[in-house]
Amino acid sequence: MPTTSTHPDVMEKLVSLCKRRGFIFQSSEIYGGTGSVWDYGPLGVELKRNLKDAWWRAMVYARDDIEGLDAAILMHPRTWEASGHLEGFTDPLVQCLGKCKRRWREDHVREEQLGAEDAEGEIVCPKCGGELTEPRQFNLMFKTHMGPVEESGTEVFLRPETAQGIFVNFKNVLSFARKKPPFGIAQIGKSFRNEITPGNFVFRMREFEQMEMEFFVPPDEAGRWHEHWMEQRMGWYTGLGIRPDHLRLREHGADELSHYSSATSDVEYLFPMGWSELEGVANRGDFDLTQHAKFSGEKLEYFDQSTGDRYVPYVIEPAAGVDRAMLAFMVDAYDVEEVEGRTRTVLRLHPRLAPNKAAVLPLVSKEGMPERAREVYESVKARMPAEFDEGGSIGKRYRRQDEIGTPWCITIDGETLEDGTVTLRDRDSLDQTRVPADDVAALLADRLAEPWTTPKLG
């Protein structure tokens, strides 16, 4: 298994590519930017949507036992008392007493300087070597007020995870979707965390998106379902092209477990900064439903009429980050190679994730080629996202499409006008084949439905 990312400087390269090609911009850039908040541009929003669609398809459409939900970001403040976030959703904050006065997460500094988050010993400011304050617990939830008066009773929080919106709707979905455990509720939505040390591009942000699914099971089946979901989630990433040797499952040690969890394994990806969490797959036991039942006074349990059994289901939760997954897919897809003495940068994204599936390019802007190309473009666009590009040399246009991960380029040239065929260029193999212009849209639609493995596996 590799221990370092293939291209160690890939993060810098990707940040620049993302800006240059319209994937990701710093938020409010014209005002100097907002710390660790990012905006998705025209291509970024497509990649992100494709990723979320792939998750939704795997979770909701491909199965009979999961329903979708879209709960509100602002929730009743008691939610966060019940969930333990008001009390326990904290990170240890230390501040530099030396020159730079920077703030750090104590556990991260300990890990970096002493080898483990809970290692004993002296730590210093990673930036200037200054002395650090004693740690204090800092709550990561953003506060705001509901209504026109800012009083203590009007305080609400921006949700730090989407999961709680699912737990408070457990009873609604159970009764209205006529489900019985094992069944799940899936949700994709924004979450907010006032992270002490955000960074690494979209890896750790203050506003981000999550894809979470809570799977409610009879307590004695929890272990089996935990295994099932770990396997499913690993398979989802590799099925969409992540190299298996850049992905691993890491089980949490007892001291690492969250307050609600009896077992958690992280799906980790080999990011340029090392192995880091991509997704957590937790066995949350009956913690959440029991807590919300206690705080709300509602019964949150399942009554099986056929057996007379009454129980609080256990919950298995695969919780993924959309932005973090997007970063992993881009890092994994990023490649630079020499072709005929020239360097080309290529994003080898799974075709189903790629923002554009095809680009239609008239070789030159004359002799009727643009008009014919427009016709081909319309037929392709009716079936999949595609782009029409007639500006600049053909080589430059190919390189641009490679860089944004477009799997296929269709070129309309002199031969097209003679025999009705076009050149179909493959992003990864660089093979060029001639196919009838009238068939190209159907041919690509078929290819899109086929399984795909990254050529980086060799």
Q: Which residues here bind ligand ATP, judged by CB under 6 A?
A: 161, 193, 195, 204-205, 208, 210, 277-280, 319-321, 323-324
Nearer to ligand ATP, 269 or 452 (CB): 269
Query: At its nearest, how many Å lie between ligand ATP and the CB of residue 420?
Result: 48
What's the closest the beta carbon of residue 260 comes to ligand ATP, in angstroms?
A: 10
Q: At closest approach, how far in Å is the CB of 224 from ligand ATP?
A: 22
- Residue 227: in which H helix or E strand, if any? helix 222-239
- Choice between 278 and 359, CB closer to ligand ATP: 278
Question: Whole-number minimum distance, CB 140 to ligand ATP, in Å?
Answer: 9
For 3-112, strand residue ranges (E) read 24-26, 38-40, 66-69, 90-95, 103-105
**10-20 helix and 322-333 helix, angle to the nearest 10 degrees:** 100
Secondary structure (3-state) at 139: strand
Helix (H, G, I), strand (E, B) or coil at 165: helix
Residue 43 CA to chain centroid, in angstroms? 15
Nearer to ligand ATP, 278 or 441 (CB): 278
The nearest distance, CB 192 to ligand ATP, in angstroms, is 9
Q: Check: CB of residue 219 under 8 Å from CB of residue 341.
A: no
Which residue has the CB atom at the shortest distance from ligand ATP? 321
Angle of helix 369-381 versus helix 440-449 axis, rounded to 10: 40
90-95 vs 136-139, strand pairing mode: antiparallel
The helix/strand/coil state of 320 is strand
Nearer to ligand ATP, 212 or 413 (CB): 212
Torsions phi, psi of 45, nearest 5?
A: -65, -30
Nearer Cβ to ligand ATP (204/350): 204
Closer of 111 and 195 to ligand ATP (Cβ): 195
- Measured CA to CA, the distance from residue 207 to residue 38 in angstroms comes to 8
CB 119 within 8 A of CB 180: no
Shortest distance, CB of residue 44 to ligand ATP, whole angstroms?
15
* Single-letter residue type at 338: E
Residue closer to ligand ATP by CB (options 39, 150) is 39
Task: Name the residue nearer to ligand ATP (CB basis): 94 or 319.
Answer: 319
Report the nearest approach of ligand ATP to the CB of residue 398 (Å): 34
Compute the least distance from the CB of residue 277 to ligand ATP, in Å.
5
Rounded Cα gap, residues 212 and 318, in angstroms: 6
Q: How far is the CB of 199 from ligand ATP (least distance, A)?
A: 10
Q: How many CB atoms lie within 10 A of CB 384?
A: 17
CA-nearest of 109, 323, 315 to 221 is 315
Q: Which is it for strands 207-217 and 274-285: parallel, antiparallel or unpaired? A: unpaired
Q: Report the distance separating Cα 247 and Cα 269, nearest Å.
A: 5
HSE-CB at 259 with a 13 A cutoff on CA atoms is 11
Of the pair 321, 355, the CB lying nearest ligand ATP is at 321
